[in-house]
Structure 1
């Protein structure tokens, strides 16, 4: 792969997928299983390397660009 090409930071693959996940926080939200933390997960379909992006913070930006550097 050429130096200016983007790909997975672990294996260089350009095949990626996304999933949306919710997680509990701490304290009362954990006790009552309130899943108020929402993330988008970008993962490499070749090696499984994953990065989490805060769903509220990624307004309009292309998270694939962040994943591939």
Structure 2
């Protein structure tokens, strides 16, 4: 039987990771506020209400040139 909760978590993780990867490709090494807004725009486009703590952490990593990965 399929573990629905695990599948939902995996789906959300993949969606978020795809947004972080896209923003990294398009906005790496830009100021944190610009990266943060790019992440928010992409997540909202997908219809997702993001946790700001996660968005802020990802924006800081991407702004510094690093690739943010969910674990």
Same fold (TM over 0.5): no
TM-score (norm 2): 0.29
Q: Structure 1 or 2: larger helix share?
A: 2
Structure possessing the higher radius of gyration over alpha carbons: 1
In the superposition, the TM-score normalised over structure 1's length comes to: 0.29
